[in-house]
Amino acid sequence: MFDLILNPFITILSLFYSVFGQNIVLSIAVFTVLIRLATSPLLLQQHRSTAKMQELQPKLRKLQEKYKNDREKLAQAQMQLYKEAGVNPLGGCLPLLVQLPIFLAMYQTIIHALANTPYQLIDLSGRILFPGLDNIVPIQNMWAGLDLTLPPTINPAYALVLPVLVMITQWVSYKVTVPEIPPNEDGTPNPMAQTTKTMANVMMVMFGLFSLSFSVGLSIYFVVSNITGMVQYTLLGKADWGKLVGKPKLQPAPVPASAPSNKLSTASSVKAVANNAKASNKANAPAEARSNPMSGAINKTEKRKNNKMRPRSQTN
């Protein structure tokens, strides 16, 4: 089943090797970039899903605190929160699961292409799907004085630079592509942030050990893959290079949904002032009448004069 992915990959790499003047390092680089570009939509979907889940972390922690003694209600509340936010909790895992066999096939493709035993050479020839393309076997495994089929410890001493480059590019890739996990609301560090950092350090050391133990060709593939991934994130606008110098991107403060707009708040203020003034006038009117009793007498005198000046109606 895995051969359905592996054999086409080996064929594509062999085709690149034939086109690019039988330069296996250039062929590996172009092949890696091509596969990375093909998986860009999956990578973007994974990044978006991860970002949404991080935005929900404060609400999830509140639910965990509220229902810490009732797992069933906690699960129901979490699913309701995911539904309201339009988030699939497995949304970040699905693209990763799709990419996993692709990257494993890339890894196996490099190993098969760097065949150096009779059995491996025969197996490589049988996996190339294009008729006549198998005449490129065996592939030239020497590059810059290095035997790509051997580990750095058996190659010249300068080959040890490659495992160091693998670890450096792995660390830089983690720093610029993995978003920062914000602290808790009370200012304490988020345990998930420390877990992510620890896993990244472990992966960096593991890839360094792999590079020491396996062929130089795989080290070249790891370096090219890490650099390509960083370029990919940069083109998608998801890389944060400021984190390397301690200046991460500033996230804009979220605007509360209940906060009114400036126009609405201004109109409400004007209306409130007018209502207060009207109420104040009504309240002050009786007070003014009580404080000035002469005004009432003057009004009555004027009213009598007006009545006397009116002409009397003629009677028959």
Domain that holds residue 208: 142-184+192-243
Residues 7 and 135 in one domain: yes
| Run of H or E residues at 147 | strand 146-147
Residues 38 and 93 in one domain: yes
Residues 118 and 36 in one domain: yes
Number of domains within the chain: 2
Last residue of a domain, one of 123, 140, 157: 140
Residues 10 and 132 in one domain: yes
Residues 155 and 133 in one domain: no
Global pTM reads 0.66
The percentage of the chain sitting over the pLDDT mark of 90, rounded to a whole number, equals 14
Last residue of a domain, one of 243, 262, 286: 243
Select the more confidently predicted residue: 191 or 225: 225
Residues 42 and 54 in one domain: yes
Residues 13 and 68 in one domain: yes
Q: How far apart are CA 275 and CA 99, in angstroms?
A: 64
Q: What is the pLDDT of residue 15?
A: 93
Residues 125 and 236 in one domain: no
Q: What is the pLDDT of residue 214?
A: 86
Name the token pair of 212.
């020491």
Domain annotation covers residue 176: yes
Q: What is the pLDDT of residue 174?
A: 85
Domain annotation covers residue 162: yes
Q: What is the pLDDT of residue 165?
A: 94
Domain annotation covers residue 270: no
> Which of these ranges, 134-138, 260-264, 267-271, 274-278, has the smallest mean pLDDT?
260-264
Each residue of 152-161: pLDDT tens digit? Answer: 999 999 999 9
Q: How far apart are CA 169 and CA 281, in angstroms?
A: 75
Q: How far apart are CA 73 and CA 80, in angstroms?
A: 10
Averaged over 84-107, what is the pLDDT? 76
Domain annotation covers residue 316: no
The percentage of the chain sitting over the pLDDT mark of 70, rounded to a whole number, equals 72
Last residue of a domain, one of 206, 228, 243: 243
Q: What is the pLDDT of residue 2?
A: 77
Q: How far apart are CA 52 and CA 269, in angstroms?
A: 36
Phi and psi at residue 284, in whole multiples of 5°? -80, -25
Q: DSSP letters along 162-177, please?
A: HHHHHHHHHHHHHHHH
> Which of these ranges, 31-40, 203-212, 215-224, 258-267, has the smallest mean pLDDT?
258-267
Q: What mean pLDDT, rounded, does the chain reach? A: 76
Each residue of 40-87: pLDDT tens digit? Answer: 887 777 777 777 777 787 788 888 888 888 788 888 888 888 888 877
Residues 163 and 63 in one domain: no
Q: What is the pLDDT of residue 158?
A: 92
Residues 15 and 132 in one domain: yes
Q: How far apart are CA 293 and CA 54, in angstroms?
A: 72
Q: Contact 215/149 with Cβ under 8 angstroms?
A: yes
Segments in 39-149 forming alpha helices (H): 40-55, 57-66, 71-85, 93-113, 118-127
